[in-house]
Structures are given as C-alpha cells and as structure tokens.
Structure 1
Amino acid sequence: MSLPAASLAERRREGTALAALVVGAIAMGASPLFVRMADVGPFASAFWRTALALPFLAVWAAMEPKAQRSPLNNRSVWLSGLMFAGDLFFWHLAILATTVANATFLATTAPLFVVIGAWSLLGERIQRRGIAGLMLCLFGGAVLVGHSYGFAPERLTGDFYGIVTAVFFAGYMLALRAARRDIGAGTLSFVSAAITTVILFVVAFAMEPRLLPQSMHGWAVLIALALISQVAGQGLLAFALGTLPAPFSSLVIFLEAVAAALLAYVVLHEALSIMQWAGGVLILAGIFIARPRHPAPGTLP
C-alpha cells in the first residue's frame, strides 16, 4: 500500500532533518580539536567562533524568504543567543576548573533537562521509546567518558560548572526549537550568533590577555572553527530543530561526544579503549531506538 504524497513528503523532510542533525553533530564534535590548536585562550576562541561565522550566516539568512515578523521581536531568538553564550562560557570555565573528562561527562546530562523542558514548556509529548533511547544514550555516555570521571573536593566548583553548562545547552536547544516555529534556520542562526558574539566579546576582553591570534595558522584554525563548528554544526542543528522534536534532537550531544572521540583518535592519535568503543555503540543504539517513527500504512497512530 503506497503512502499518501503528504506522508511521503513528511518522511523525506524528517530524513533530511535527521541527516542534518548527524552531520551537525560531527561538525560540532570537531570544536575541541580547533580550540586545542588555537593560539588564543578558550574565551577568545569562543568569541572568534561566532564572530567569524557571522558573514557566512548573513549570506544564508539573506537567501531565505523575508519573515513577516522581525526575529528581534521574538524572545526565543534572544534567549537562544544568551543561552549559547552561557553554554560556551561555563563550558570553558568547567574545563579550566576541573578535568576535561569530568566537564564532558557532566555536560552530557543536558538531554535530561531538554526532556523536562520540552514536556513542561513546549508541550511536546515524550514517548516511552524516547525515554528508553535517552537512558541508553546516558548509559553509553557514562561508559564513553564517565570511566575517566574522578571525584575530588577541590574540583567541585568545576564539576558544578559542568552541570550549569548542561542546563544552558538545554535552554539553548529549547529556545531554538521554539524560535524555529516562526523563524528560518539561517536567520535564526545569524541573529542568535550575533547576540552570542556581543556577550562573548565582553567576556573575552575581560578575561583573556589577548584577543588576536599570533600567526596565519592561528587565524586559519579559528576560521575553521567558525565554518565547521558554528556555521555547519550549529546551523544544521537549527535547521533540524525546525522538524525534529527537541528531546530527540538533544541526543546530538552524545553524537558530538562520539565524533570528538573518533576525531581525536584519527587526527591526534589518541587511543580509544574497548569501553569507549562500547559506549559509542550504546549511544548509536539509543539514538536508533529514540528515532521518530511513523505507523505503517493502514494502521492507527
């Protein structure tokens, strides 16, 4: 029995959004490599990440049909820029105040906050398979990066920053999801990044000894960070959130962790243990379980 044209178009749209989500996760997963290779501090690299992306995002925004309502009149757009600035700020604070493993492990709790917010604030229904997939992803994330987690009283502040990072990332995704109901992905990505850039400039100016890279290689790394992790990564995430529900899309943080581990293995030759490989497999299984599904033709939803 063939599918109605509308149903087939919807499935294609979801398939495109899912592909964008996966590619975006891989692009975002490359950001730790660029931050490590940059010759400026972490807050300066965060500022340049969004600042250098603005011209490219502006071109994307200009290609979209003009919205009837200005994005600056949409509170969710402002909130997305504020939340992403908070996400990057506290992420770098966590890295400076605790171990990278602790910061990464605690940041992977973000989907829990997304699920709570999507249900309570956006009215999105949370299905049982979505909860099952999320639990499997959380377990996989714990196996992937949690094996390196180490508790130490002197790192409690940094660990707290890791949890705050997760809350801000969850708020960022929920704001994007809400804004995408009225705003195109390109316009949203541009305006949100512009808001983030202003905030991060103040942060970087106050906390970094210098803002400018010291070499052409340093500029090249920052441009790659902007194009790959911001334009492609965050842009594709915004695009996907126009179709896919926020709880499922939040699993991108687990894909990002998998991508970061694989890229470190390929580019930096950092060894991966059997437990890390197993964690990656569990994450992929959880995402497969939680993926959006449609009833078979002729059946009731």
Structure 2
Amino acid sequence: MIDQLDVQQKSITQANFLALFYLIVACLILSTAPIGVRWSEQEISPIATVFMRFLFATLVFGVGNSWDFIRAEKMSDRPTNYKIYSLRILLLLLGAGMCSTANQIFWAWSLVQTKIGISSLMHSLTPLFTTLFAWLFLKRSFDRQFLMGMAIAIGGSIAIGISDMQMATIQLQGDLFALLSSIFFGGYLLIVEQLRVHLSVSNILFWRCLFCIFLLLPILLLKGDRIIPYSWSGWWAVFFLVLVFVIGHGMLTNILKIFSSSIIAVAYLLEPFGSSLQAWVFFAEKLSIVEWIGFAIVIFGVYVAVSSPNPEISE
C-alpha cells in the first residue's frame, strides 16, 4: 500500500514538473508577441492587429473543434449530440471574451506608447489581481511561501520600472494601458480556470476568439481603421502573431487544468524577461543594470512561489 502511494506521488510530481516545463515554454513563446505587434502596427492599427489575430485564430480553433467532434463520433457507437451549454458556462465564456478583448486592446495600445519591456512588466502585475480576485470571489486563501514568492517577483517588476520614472506623459499613458491590461488578464485567467473543468482547450479558445471578433468589429467600423495589411510583410506579422497565440495560449489553457490561475499568473512574470531581451536585440532598447537586477529578482520570486508545496488552500 505504501509502495503504491509512493508511486502515485512520484507520478504526480513528474506530471507537475512536466506541466511546469510546458508553462515556461508557453511563457517564452508568448514573449515573442510584442515583436509581432510592433511589426504589424507598421501597417495596421493596434485594434486591427488584435482583430486579425483573433479572426485567424478562430478559424484554427474551429477546425480543432470539428476534429474533436469527428473523432468523438468515430470512437462512439452512438451519434454524438451537440453539447448545450448551461447559462453559467455561457456567461463565463462571454466574460472570458470580454476580459480577453479588453486585455488585448489595452496591451496593443501600450506597446505603441511605451517601451516593450516596461509595457510587459506593467502587464505582468497580473498575479496581484488574479490572487485578489480569487480571494474576493472564490474565497481562496494562499500559503505564506506562495505569497512571499509573488511579492518578491512583483517587487522585481517594480524595480525594473524605476529606471523609467522620469518619462514623458505619453509613456505614462502607455503604462496605464498596460496596467489595465494586466487587470483584465487576471480576470481572464480566473474565468478560464473555471471553464477548463468543463470544456476542452480548443472549445474555450474558439469561443473566446469568436466573442472577441464580435466585440472588436463595431469598434473598428466606428474608428474606420485599416484592417487588411497592404504588403506581405504585414501579412507575415499577422500570421506570426496567430501562430504565437495558438501555440502559446493553447499550452497555457491546457496547463490551467493542472495549475491554478494564481500559479500561472506568477510564472507568467517570466514572459517580460523574454520580451525585453528580444526588444534589446531587435529594437535596440537598452537595459540598465537596475533592470537586469530586477529580472534576477523576478526569476527568484517565481521560483519561490511555484515551488511552494501547498500554494493554494480553498476554504
């Protein structure tokens, strides 16, 4: 009996380690998105960039949903009925779409009004809001090590922003947009964590993207923004963003069935590190010694939080 428990515990540990590896990979993949956004926004507006990204992602996840349905029919002796979602599931899907749309719009606006690294770091205050929302709405409590790691990681993010304290008004506005983006992303993670219990990855992301398209289309029509890129360079930027979104968010949504949204949000603090390094390479955005130290603090904080033996305690 004890041997069976040891084997089971070992398999759980291995599964968590593998999930953590996938989580880090997903963060690194998503860290390339700001480069694609800057690239795309040379030809189309920030909102149009988000719209095109969701439009093609909807097609990809729609094909994934169809494949899942066909495979389920082949494996079952009886015809598979179309699933009718409850009102709660529909409201959660709508909430995920609204939070995701606001997150992407504010994030895209911030990227054209401030540095990529600072925008990503302001956006990565998400763990604070995810934990706060989980405490307020789901009545969850968190252990001391997790909260300490989260505080260290957020402290590192703040330290990185110190070098940008003396900035122009337009950059301050860009930071505000990034902060709003982090709030909505925190809400999105919490909602998707609830949906992941009932729906598949492709199902959640298909409806998320579809709702985002319908929410963004009236804004685009009112603003009169250009939607279609006018060169192959613009189209490659859009395809690159779609690829990053499908792979990165597909992995992130899948991991939400193993790790809670709070842990995902803390680990997501690694994403700006990759973004800033790429901005340094491709856009010559210099990183100060304070920013490098801040990055080291963030990495240490993420390690402390994620390695907590019992990060989340439901009351």
Q: What amino acid maps onto 2:26 in structure 1?
A: G
Question: Which aligned pairs between 1:233-248 and structure 2 lie closer than 5 A?
Answer: 233-248=248-263
Equivalent pairs, count = 294
Match of 2:196 among 177, 180, 183: 180
Where structure 2 has 5 or more consecutive residues not aligned to the other structure, the ranges are 73-79, 311-315
Aligned residue for 1:276?
291
Q: Tell me which residue corresponds to 2:14.
A: 12
Return 5+ residue gaps in structure 1 as ranges: 296-301
Match of 1:119 in 2: 135
Shift, 1:90, TM fit = 2.2
Alpha-carbon offset, residue 233 of structure 1: 1.8
Residue 85 of structure 2 corresponds to residue 81 of structure 1 = no
Matches for 1:249-288 after TM superposition, within 5 Å: 249-288=264-303
Identity value in percent: 22
Worse-superposed segment, 155-164 or 49-58: 155-164
User: Kindly tell me: are residues 153 and 144 of structure 1, through their superposed partners in 2, closer, same or farther at Cα, counting changes over 3 Å?
Assistant: closer
Specify the structure having the higher radius of gyration (Cα). 2
- The letter for the 2-side match of 1:56 is V
Tell me the secondary structure at the aligned position of residue 288 of structure 1. Answer: helix
Amino acid at match of 1:129: Q
Match for residue 211 of structure 1? 227
* Whole-angstrom CA distance in 1 between matches of 2:166 and 2:186: 24
3-state SS in 1 of match to 2:259: coil
The residue number in structure 2 matching 1:299 is: none
Residue 49 of structure 1 and its aligned partner are, at CA, apart by 1.2
Q: 5 Å matches for 1:1-301?
A: 4-38=6-40, 39-64=43-68, 69-70=83-84, 73=87, 74=89, 75-95=91-111, 103-150=119-166, 159-228=175-244, 230-294=245-309
Hey, what's the Cα distance between the residues in 2 that align with 1:293 and 1:37? 39
Contact persistence 1:107–1:163 (CA under 8 A): yes
- Aligned partners of 1:41 and 1:208 also within 8 Å: no
Distance 1:97 1:86 in 2: 17
Kept in 1, the 8 Å contact 2:46–2:109? The answer is: no
Q: After TM superposition, give the deviation of residue 131 of structure 1 in Å.
A: 0.7
TM-score with structure 2 setting the length: 0.82
Q: Larger deviation: 255-264 or 143-152?
A: 143-152
Q: Distance in 2 between matches of 1:206 and 1:263?
A: 34
